[in-house]
Amino acid sequence: MTADATPRKRYALALFQGLPRHYDRMGALLSLGQDPRWRRALVRAVDPQPGERVLDVATGTGMVAVALARRSACEVVALDQSEAMLAAARARVLRDSRLAQQISFVRGEAERLPFADAEFDGLTFTYLLRYVDDRATTMRELARVVKPGGRIGMVEFGVPRIRPLRGLWRVHTRVGLPLLGRLVSQAWLEVGRFLGPSIEELHVLEPDLPSLWEAAGIRDVNLRRPSFGAGLVMSGVRDVDRAP
């Protein structure tokens, strides 16, 4: 962690330090089984081709990185700021010799990617924007490392728009998530308490995510709201006219 890390970044690093062991199962459980579906939709949207090089930002335990590599004979660079998460991702990949040849790992921050302009054919990121201080700058940085015409995709939690469903969603996020987290560990209890307010804050502060992407030089932005709006799957194309 850099010396000038903001409180948001320090909190995110501390939060994820104790999560890798149960991360995959808890992600599915807290989303009522929907998170794996959203990740599969993300991989389909980016649709990596054989021989392409794809960057997976905020890779966590490597679920999306592995899915990208298995979809085609592409090269995947998996990046995360948490060494604990990267360790879990490496362990997952090393169990499969073919995946180990396709996927490499880098510790780094989405706000300051250690890569050249237009270095990747595609890029994915998952549950990232709630953990950065300057979302507009981060989106520009993500777009910077993608070749013109390359695809960019994201998964994030959403807030249902239909009022009765929104009420049920709030009960689940304010009551259900902490209870589920408490059954596992103190760290997951903290996550359960954090998630609901964090998700709503993102959508209050960024009510127009497609415009945020377009301002970063991403065109043909597609926003889908699966699971009655509890999830967001977004994708777009790096604008040829606004290449770095």
CATH number, domain containing residue 236: 3.40.50.150
Share of the chain above pLDDT 90, in %: 76
Sorted by sequence, the CB contacts under 8 Å of residue 16 that are 6+ apart come out as: 60, 82, 84, 85
Phi/psi of residue 107, nearest 5 degrees: -90, 125
pLDDT band at 210 (very low <50, low <70, confident <90, very high): very high
**Buried b vs exposed e over 180-216: b needs ≥16 C-beta within 10 Å?**
bbeebeebbbbbbbbbbeebbebbeeeeebeebbbeb
**Residue with more model confidence, 102 or 177:** 102
Question: Per the domain annotation, does 190 fall within a domain?
Answer: no
Residue 96's pLDDT is 95
Question: Per the domain annotation, does 152 fall within a domain?
Answer: yes
Using the Cα atoms of residue 172, residue 174, residue 176 and residue 177 in order, give the sign of their dihedral.
positive
**Structure confidence by residue, pLDDT tens digits, 186-198:** 888 888 899 999 9
Does 3 score more than 60 pLDDT? no
Which residues partner with 124 through β-bridges?
56, 153
Question: Per the domain annotation, does 169 fall within a domain?
Answer: no
pLDDT (mean) for 184-210: 91
Structure-token pair, residue 176: 């259900």
Q: For the chain, how many structural domains are there in total?
A: 1
Give the structural domain span for 58.
Answer: 7-160+208-242
**Residue type, position 158, single letter:** G
**Structure confidence by residue, pLDDT tens digits, 131-173:** 999 999 999 999 999 999 999 999 999 999 998 999 999 999 9
Q: Using CA atoms, how far apart are residues 164 and 171, in angstroms rounded to an integer?
A: 11
Residue 240's pLDDT is 85
Q: Using CA atoms, how far apart are residues 184 and 186, in angstroms rounded to an integer?
A: 7
Question: Per the domain annotation, does 31 fall within a domain?
Answer: yes
Question: Per the domain annotation, does 236 fall within a domain?
Answer: yes
Does 114 score more than 80 pLDDT? yes
Residue 153's pLDDT is 98
- Count of positions (residues) in the chain: 244
Residue 25's pLDDT is 78
Residues 142, 123 contacting (CB under 8 angstroms): yes
pLDDT (mean) for 53-62: 96
Q: How far is CA 139 from CA 98, 102, 160, 214, in A?
A: 32, 26, 24, 9
Q: Using CA atoms, how far apart are residues 195 and 143, in angstroms rounded to an integer?
A: 26
What's the chain's average pLDDT? 92
Question: Per the domain annotation, does 212 fall within a domain?
Answer: yes
Q: Using CA atoms, how far apart are residues 123 and 56, in angstroms rounded to an integer?
A: 6
Does 104 score more than 80 pLDDT? yes
Does 21 score more than 70 pLDDT? no
